[in-house]
Structure 1
Amino acid sequence: MHARRLLIGVVPLVLMVTACGGNEPATTTSDSGKKLDQVTLTLNWYPYGEHAPFYYGKQQKIFEKHGIDLKIQAGQGSQKTVQATAAGQTDFGWADTPALLAGVDSGVKVKSLGVFLQTTPASVQSFDAEGIKTPADLKGRTIAGTAGDALSKTFPIFLKKNGLSDSDVKVQNTDPAGKIAAVISGKTDGLLGYASDQGPTMQHKAGKPVSYLRFSEHGLNFYSNGLLAGQRILASKPDLAKRMVRAVSESWAAAEKAPEPAVSSMEGASEQLPPKAVLAEQFATTLTLLHTASTQGKAPGVNTEADWQQTVDVFAEAGLVGKPKAVSDYWDQKSALKG
């Protein structure tokens, strides 16, 4: 899939645009006369079911309630979203925590405002007929993966935790867009992917049920996608960062209570938008990822230092982080939601 930049869901509630100098975002005035900060949010990829809360929050005017006129943009992978956020090319980003850790490790000035997908969707995905029900069933299999990404980096740790070695499973290097095709064509027995993304798409395309061997259910969990901001926003607009975190959390809470309307709010978001049935399944799976044992019952996006440290430790072991830093170097607790 060749990613191209899209502008998504730009609804003109604006009566007036005021360009502000320096690092100040432009402002707009809503139909009700409320002054709003124009804010861009760049996703990790093209819109799919996981992103429903952003569209729902916009539709339900939750962002407007927090003084934000939100524009949602497609991304081209978490790594690029992290870089764009740090460079000030977007106000906020939505990206995978491993990409954030790797970015900070290499000197990129960006921080998380809170991870929302706190149970990793990382999994081995295969058709039910393959019979891959436990880690032991992977022995002698060929799995599609993408060299250097977080999934391929953590897969050896997953294998080790389950009594297997790297040599027990062949990982066939495949570009991200080609992994599903590799499984459907029979070139591989499964793929390394996210349960909230590729699996429902593969099931829809092939018309065959898909099984998931989730890392989190077999001894390995780490943080996944969350909200981030660069130094420009954190330094010059700390109040905006706090409002954005709260608007996103409230949008996720509202979407969790109304999954069908939330998915429907994505209509027209992108030419690449999956079918509604796929979106619904993606979002249903996403809702199972919102908490760890430490954050059950808390608002979406509330993090703990212990969960952050566990994630840093996993990716240090995986070699994605060369020089682990303090949790505060990755997570901006000044802007974060309090538990």
Structure 2
Amino acid sequence: MQKGWFKAAGLNVRMEDGNGSVSTVQMLGAGDHFDVGHASLAAMMIGRDKGMPLKAIAPFMTRTDIGALVPADSDIKGPAQLKGKKVLYTAGSLEAPFIDFFLKEGKLTRNDLDLLSVDASAKAATYAVGRADAVISTIPFIFPSVSRQRHSRALPFSDYGLDMVSFGLFTSEQKLQEKKDAIAKFASIVAYGWQYILNGHESEAVDAIVAQRPQARLDKAILAEQLEALKPYFPTSKEQAVGAVNPEDFEKSVSTLHKVGSIGSRLDPEEYYVKDLVRPVETIAPEIVK
């Protein structure tokens, strides 16, 4: 938006802040006036399993970013050491269904610890000031915002058999029929934007984010750290472009979500995505890459 790439492709784009992946999925699934959602694609898959006609169009982060943060100087090396500890999470969030399986890897249940549900906006601050022994959230988002006050390390859920796709773009089948070309252009430009950032334009991205969302009163230093923390979650193979669908990512996601009971019917992984919508941006608007 800041660089005029959407306009160069003939798109008139309006973006609104969401309130978490689950609510974004619900809004798109209800057929609201939004054409595309940006959220955890695992949440989108859960919504599709419940009957929402949604499909992924551009996965960006190809492994889960959910995990637990613990103090760096603590003796907590994995879920087993959380016994008797006070742990923060948010009920109704994407992370909630995975907690039991994570604890099971340490031979624990919820009854073995003091598990407290708090509002998502309060988790980071509550943990950072030492009112809990651990916090469960999305690691790249929360890690930079708490580490200045409380030096911490992460226990990624992906290390405990809970791996799945994370953030990306999705849309409804109806919108795809109505606006396929425009949606494809939008997804292609956003995918190019992420690749542009990853190619060494982090500071430019931070400036653009702050300029586009002045009401959010964002901290540039924390934003820069969050972008850096996101990098390991993007595709590591040079053969997989940012935003391109890799069927194996959805196969592992179906397996994980079915294992924890978040999806019941275990649909064919191909039911959850549309391939080949993202294309080289120079075929859409050559001036973007000049």
Fold shared per TM-score above 0.5: yes
Q: CA deviation at 1:334?
A: 5.3
Higher helix share: 2
Inter-CA distance 132–65: structure 2 relative to 1 (3 Å threshold): farther
* Equivalent position of 1:232 in the other structure: 174
**Which contiguous aligned blocks of 4+ residues in structure 1 show a shift greater than 4 angstroms?**
none
1:45 is matched with which residue? none
**If the length of structure 2 is used for normalisation, what is the TM-score?**
0.86
Matched, 1:154 2:82: no
**1:152-195 Cα distance to aligned partner (Å, 9 max, x none):** 211222333x4432254442222212222332343320110111
Instruction: Tell me what 1:262 maps to.
Output: 205
CA distance in 1, matches of 2:114, 2:279: 42
The reply to whether residue 74 of structure 1 matches residue 17 of structure 2 is yes
Residue 314 of structure 1 and its aligned partner are, at CA, apart by 0.9
- Kindly indicate whether residue 140 of structure 2 is the aligned counterpart of residue 196 of structure 1: yes
Q: TM-score, normalised by structure 1?
A: 0.74
User: Shift in Å at residue 230 of structure 1?
Assistant: 1.7
Q: Which residue of 2 aligns with 1:124?
A: 68
1:70 alignment partner, SS class: coil
- Residue 329 (structure 1) shift: 2.4
Answering whether residue 44 of structure 2 is matched by residue 91 of structure 1, we say no
Contact 2:240 2:246 in 1 (8 A): no
| Alignment counterpart, residue 164 of structure 2, candidates 222, 240, 249 | 222
CA distance in 2, matches of 1:149, 1:313: 20
What secondary structure is seen at the aligned counterpart in 1 of 2:14?
Answer: strand
Structure 2 residue aligned with 1:60: 3
Give runs of aligned pairs for residues 1-339 of structure 1, distance below 5 A.
58-86=1-29, 87-160=31-104, 162-166=105-109, 167-204=111-148, 207-257=149-199, 258-268=201-211, 269-291=213-235, 295-333=237-275, 335=277
Task: Give the unaligned 5+ runs of structure 2.
Answer: 281-290
Aligned residues: 276
The code of the aligned residue for 1:289 comes to Y
Identity of aligned residues (%): 25
CA deviation string 1:204-236 (max 9, x = no partner): 4xx232211112244432111110112332112
Q: What is the root-mean-square deviation of aligned Cα atoms in Å?
A: 2.3
Residue equivalent to 2:285: none
- Distance, in Å, in 1 between the alignment partners of 2:59 and 2:279 is 10
Matched residues in 1 for 2:235 and 2:264: separation? 27
The letter of the residue matching 1:123 is: G
SS, match of residue 209 in structure 2 = coil
Q: Which shows bigger deviation, 232-241 or 124-133?
A: 124-133
1:98 and 1:320 in contact (8 A); partners too: no
CA contact (8 A) 1:82 1:100 kept: yes
Moved more, 275-284 or 219-228: 219-228
Alignment partners' CA distance in 2, 1:296 and 1:307: 15
